[in-house]
Amino acid sequence: MKLAVIGANGQLGTDLREVLSGEHEVIGLNHSDIEITNIDRIRNVLSSTKPDIVLNTAAYHIVPEAEKFPDKAFHINGTGTLNLARVCQDMAIRLVHYSTDYVFDGKKQKPYTEDDCPNPLNVYANTKLSGEYFALNYSDRSYVVRVSGIYGKVPCRAKGGNFITTMIKLAKEKPEVRVVNDEILTPTPTLHIAKNTAALIRTDAFGLYHMSCEGECSWYEFAGVIWETLQLETPLYPASVKDFPLVVKRPFYSVLENKKLNKLGINQMPDWKNALKEFLDTEV
């Protein structure tokens, strides 16, 4: 099959392109190639490239900035996804759209399944949830994939890095590092998301999926494995979210359960700690 990866040079897009090219013909599309807020541009690009599947990783995901520029965030995360869904529907192209654990409010305090009702707390999460609905309701052949705490070998262009690169930088520059221990998630490498996406698109089981590593941890526990594996000597201490100014409302528990992947028998996601150690051993 021919696949088009939108956001091909990004953190997730890079691994999708590399993993999927082993099995498919992959076209990488970046912002200079396609503008998802322009439906005519989408139609022209997809008409000329003729992919069987479009994988959309493009997003406005700087959470504090989305609060300041909600129209811009919705234009990309909401309307942009609607445009893609409409064109993919018209051209009988399958669509894979990536979303976020932030669509939940964290009050459940147990892993969220695809059956749980979202309640996004901030602008970014609201716009991503609208994108989910647009993808699922305007494209009959769409997969919406929620991910959590992602990191990869290519730094996030918009954020200038990821949690791992930030921790290593702080360990070099600061006399001590403090990381919150009361915000719980499941860190997940983009490589494993790409590998499980490859399994998902071999099926015609369209719909909503959670795709994160197994288990859960606090950001402090996440940092602790980085310290231990890389043998960093800078003191690392736990902190509370209350110790930092809360710029944006966030869920303090956003662990995802891969219920539907398990039901399909294609859940390949490893334990978060094993995945992190593997990444640190090979990429850092």
pLDDT of residue 223: 97
pLDDT at 133: 98
60 within 8 A of 74, measured Cβ to Cβ: no
Query: Which residue bears the tokens 């990536």?
Result: 98
Check residue 158 and give its pLDDT.
56
Nearest to 122 by CA among 65, 184, 78: 65
In this prediction, residue 26 carries a pLDDT of 97
As annotated, the active-site residues are 124
Query: Which is nearest to 124 in space by CA: 59, 189, 218?
Result: 59
Say if CB 45 and CB 34 are below 8 A apart: yes
Q: With respect to residue 281, please indicate whether it lies within any of the assigned structural domains.
A: no
Please indicate, yes or no, if residue 175 is contained in any of the structural domains.
Answer: no
Residue 269 main-chain phi, psi, to 5 deg: -75, 130
What would you report as the CA-atom Rg of the chain, rounded to the nearest whole angstrom? 18
Q: For the chain (length 284 residues), average pLDDT per consecutive 10?
A: 95 96 95 94 96 96 93 97 98 98 96 98 97 98 97 71 90 95 96 98 97 97 96 95 85 97 97 96 83
Which domain, by its residues, includes 10?
A: 2-152+189-212+257-269
Query: What pLDDT does residue 160 have?
Result: 58
- The residue among 19, 45, 20 whose CA lies nearest residue 30 is 45
What was the pLDDT predicted at 39?
Answer: 97
The CATH number of whichever domain residue 27 belongs to comes to 3.40.50.720
| Residue 86: inside a domain | yes
The predicted pLDDT at position 17 comes to: 96
Residue 63 lies in a domain: yes
Task: Quote the Cα angle for 75-4-162, to 5°.
Answer: 65
Counting the structural domains of the chain, the total is 1
What is the pTM assigned to this prediction?
0.94
- Residue 241 counted as domain residue: no
